Amino acid sequence: MCFTMPKPSAKGPVKTQPHPHRRLTFNVRDTETISSLKRALHLGLFLTPTVIHLHDNEIPGGTRDIYLSATIQRSLRKLFTDLCRGELTLSRERLQGFLEVEQGEPLEKISTALTEEAYRFEQFLEVWWLRFGLDIEKPASIVDKDLSKPISNYFIDSSHNTYLPGGQWSGKATVETYKRVLLQGCRCVEIDVWDNSTSSSAKSIAGSATAIPRSERSLKLTTNTLHTAAAQVKAVVDDKIEQTRQFLGVEKHHSRSPGCSKFNASDPSLNRDNGIGAGLTDTDESATPEQSSRGWKPVLPADEPIVMHGWTFNQPIGFRQVCKAIREVAFVTTHLPIIISLEVHALADQQERMVQIMKEEWAGLLIEEPHEACPNDRMPRLEDLLDKILVKVKKASSPAANPMVMTSLSPNSVVVDDDATSSMSEDERVPKRPTPKVPICENLSRLAVYTHSEHFVNFESFTAKSPSHIFSINEKKILDLWESRRDELFTHNQNFFMRAYPKASRVNSSNPDPSQFWRKGVQMVAMNWQKWDEGMMLNKAMFSGEHGWVLKPPGYLSDDEQPTSSACSTYRTFDLIITVLAGQDIALPEDMKSHAFRPLVKCEIHIEKAEERSGSPGEEGNNRLRPVDWKKQTGCGRTDHPEFHPADRELRFQGVHRVEESLSFVRFRVEHEQSRFMPLREPSAGWACIRLDRLATGHRLIPLLDYDGNETKGVLLVRVLKNYR
């Protein structure tokens, strides 16, 4: 895989240049041109990236264009000069040694690629760039992916509150978020299903409310109708605000936040095929201005369940629209299966409609019966479930089952129904009484063939031994269990599914550090994909190029002999040295001018912390790492094409203990050097995160992302040295 630079913008920071790029051609015969190029590179005249033509016979036209800034070109030419050791050309033997030892390339590939006895700089760059590449991340090949293990032996890219594009409290659920996360590799999405206010069950409850004693009426009405009432109240409030604006002649300002945007059904620019309104009116031909006036609410299919965030002002979408959206993109990028995590708040008749809708919309994809080669008394292999959709839902309970389960933090006690409340924080659960469990109908229960939800009681219970069970547990409770019963927790997760979801206090959609749960064997860590914070950066690095399923490392698998976390034999001690050489096209924060930009690079390693480890707190004594050892930063460079000074560009992490490469990460952040007197509100200019086992050594280019998870033109040139012992 070759890293090819995108074509930069025509607007460069150097205003005096008559053209946006200088066109440079290697392998030309004009010696004066080569001499001029060398002088220009030495003097650093080309601040904007210049185009370089590399001869590539494997593509149409035979030429590949790349764009490199003067700072990066200077670093590469200095590297070439050092390798030549005083000679004018680089010998084949020295180039082979560089590629094998420094870059970590396989000898077989090197022997095939090197056909010359000596290489000029232009030839050196061509063979290095085109045959091997400078990518910082080793590629993950789906062709070589091991699909032979039971599905509980994999980590799964998972989403929490998938239907929300923005804030937790207001806004609109949308089907577009399902499409987006699935196309980006997510393989476990969440659907929070409620009764439609027009359904017969909801009407029956509302109509009989007066016959219910006042003490019971509040709970019953709240459970089944508060979500639609909240959306209606918000619509009325929005309408009153709009009427006041019109009366006062105040222009309406639209928020750019997707979680705070207001749907206007009368706006002709919004239609079923565009934007956030796509999922709201799929079954309705039009939305009239009258519908968008006082008391407006989304038009949803009658007698079909809806999807929304309970107890909030978020407006709903239809369950069928969600299923259609999932079907549309489910297997566009990969054939690996999807798990649908259902949180069911709907009553029996709406559950039957859910079953009907899923069978209609996912016909041919939905797992309805055990695989013929795998009965439901054991987990199927991943390769048995290609292009399939699995449903995760509770099993139907007997009528005699207790409808209320009290919360307890004790690992030996029964806890509240986690699946019924995992999409909502405690602050959002308006009734401060135990949440009543909604009985699951038999037909819906049957769809949970290999993935059925169970309440966690303890690790000795009968349900904890069922092959298809999944425990969904709050992140805080998992950490509590790790403190008190770590070996039982780890052993359980070697063989059975566990899902972690964000704790109650994360009302701003922030995410936990998922790596601490992966190191405990938790297969599904549900993330808020609408919030690109540190947790999502680690999640992206974990599943980059993996199609949503990552095989657990040795010691974590169901067939491993080691029974406990402390017995895992894959831990190593390593040294990591990263030298940040130069950058190119770094995004400028807050409309800053290039000449005022002072970028620095912060680097952090995410490894197993001391408190996560087995044994007593003082087990490792003086070898325990302090938090400061995990974070380093460079000095600052200049402009958006920086070069970093040799005195403060080296980042050393030495003697790092107990590292599991496939569950550890290195994260980079580029920021503007802050002034104490004029701090920026947002100094960040880009980031990157790489799993340690995928981190390539040698001279590499790091592509930078923005804080919405999108690629930018920015790159860093670094040198990476790794040593394990």
Q: Cα separation of 326 and 315, whole Å?
A: 20
Nearest to 472 by CA among 511, 516, 502: 502
Structure-token match 């038999």, residue found: 442
Range of 236-240, 276-280, 397-401, 669-673 with top mean pLDDT: 669-673
pLDDT in tens, 456-465: 999 999 989 9
> Residue 314 and residue 241: Cα distance in Å, rounded?
18
Evaluate the CA torsion angle 342, 461, 500, 426 in order and state its sign: positive
- Choice between 515 and 1, residue whose per-residue pLDDT is larger: 515
pLDDT band at 316 (very low <50, low <70, confident <90, very high): confident
Percent of the chain scored above 70 by pLDDT? 67
Strand-pair partners of 464: none
What is the token pair recorded at 477?
A: 């409770």
Angle formed by the axes of helices 200-207 and 348-361, nearest 10°: 170
More reliable by pLDDT, 39 or 82 = 82
What topology is assigned to 23-132 in CATH? Recoverin; domain 1 (1.10.238)
Strands (E), 250-388: 306-307, 317-318, 338-344
Q: What is the average pLDDT across 83-96?
A: 96
> What pLDDT does 634 receive?
96
| Mean pLDDT value of segment 273-288 | 35
In this predicted structure, what is the pLDDT of residue 646?
95
What pLDDT, on the 0 to 100 scale, is given for residue 609?
A: 80
Looking at the predicted structure, is the pLDDT value of residue 258 above 90?
Answer: no
Q: What is the DSSP string of 257-295?
A: -TTT----TT-TT-BTTBGGGGGTSTT-S---TTTTSTT
Evaluate if residue 669 carries a pLDDT over 80. yes
DSSP state of 692: G
Q: For 162-476, give the CATH class.
A: alpha beta
Dihedral sign, Cα of residue 702, residue 705, residue 711, residue 712:
negative
Residue-wise pLDDT tens digits, 319-366? 999 999 999 999 999 999 999 999 999 999 999 999 999 999 999 999
**pLDDT on residue 435:** 54
Which long-range contacts does 483-488 make (Cβ < 8 Å, 24+ apart)?
484/411, 485/411, 485/459, 486/520, 486/564, 486/565, 486/614, 487/563, 487/564, 487/565, 487/566, 488/459
Q: How confident is the model at residue 490 (pLDDT cuts 50, 70, 90)?
A: very high
Band (pLDDT 50/70/90 cuts) for residue 164 is confident
Residue 614 burial (10 A CB sphere; 0-12, 13-18, 19+): middle
363-404 residue pLDDT tens? 999 999 998 877 667 899 999 999 999 999 999 876 544 444
CA dihedral 160, 164, 165, 166 (to 10 degrees): -100
pLDDT of 261 > 70? The answer is: no
- The domain 571-724 having CATH identifier 2.40.50.140: the answer here is no
What is the pLDDT at residue 62?
72
| 75 compared with 22, residue with greater pLDDT | 75
Are 698 and 132 spatial neighbours (Cβ–Cβ below 8 Å)?
Answer: no
Q: How far is CA 638 from CA 580, 582, 585, in A?
A: 14, 10, 12
Among 123-127, 135-139, 589-593, name the one with the lowest average pLDDT. Answer: 589-593
pLDDT at 303: 87
Closest CA to 384 of 397, 367, 401: 367
In angstroms, rounded to a whole number, what is the distance separating the alpha carbons of residues 568 and 560? 9
What does the domain layout of the chain look like in residue ranges? Answer: 23-132, 162-476, 571-724
Of residues 55 and 460, more confidently modeled: 460
Greater pLDDT, 612 or 482: 482
Q: What are phi and psi of 669, to 5 degrees?
A: -135, 130
Note the pLDDT of residue 2: 47
pLDDT of residue 245: 57
Helix (H) or strand (E) holding 40: helix 31-43
User: Who wins on pLDDT, 27 or 91?
Assistant: 91
Q: What is the pLDDT of residue 239?
A: 56
Query: What are the phi and psi torsion angles at 135 (to 5°)?
Result: -60, 135
Query: Which are the contacts of 319, defined by CB distance < 8 A and separation ≥ 6?
Result: 191, 193, 304, 305, 306, 307, 353, 354, 357
**Cα separations (Å) of 52 from 19, 38, 67?**
15, 14, 6
Question: What pTM was computed for the model?
Answer: 0.78
pLDDT category of residue 419 using cuts at 50, 70 and 90: low
Q: Which two tokens stand for residue 275?
A: 């934007």
